[in-house]
Amino acid sequence: MKESFMQEAIDISREKMMAGEGGPFGAVIVKDGKVIARGWNKVTSSHDPTAHAEVVAIREACKAIENFSLEGCTIYTSCEPCPMCLASIYWARIDHIYYANTRDDAAAIEFDDEFLYREIATPIEERKIPTVQILRDEAQKVFKMWQEKTDKIPY
């Protein structure tokens, strides 16, 4: 079964790339042995830099099950997830990740995420995009309100 789910992710990557919808990436999310969502890279066709295959699939899966948690799900992706997609997978609480191409394979065709991996580990004041903290005291008031909120839905 794993191979057939991965083959579907690979097939989606090919089909949608050839249709001009984005880069060569596809993903499927499976729950209880059934595909509940499919995603493919839509960065260029949707003008959305976050529309990677895994993120698109996560959005679709959450809609399908009407829940922000994808516990009990597995993602099959045609390439090792980039840092954004990996973080999204963790936030979605997906149980397992299967991937085909590696991040080195992606770098070889000019989808190189190494800069992002390094940037995450770089101290904030040394990152390429200037990042400056302001109005923390004001923002802290909202965090305190969240902490005291009795009807919040934790996630």
Active site residues per annotation = 54
Phi and psi at residue 2, to the nearest 5°: -55, -45
CA angle 113, 25, 63 (to 5 degrees): 105
Residue 117 and residue 122: Cα distance in Å, rounded?
9
C-alpha distances out from residue 90 to 81, 94, 95, Å: 11, 6, 9
Burial 140-150 (b: 16+ CB within 10 A, else e): eeeeeeeeeee
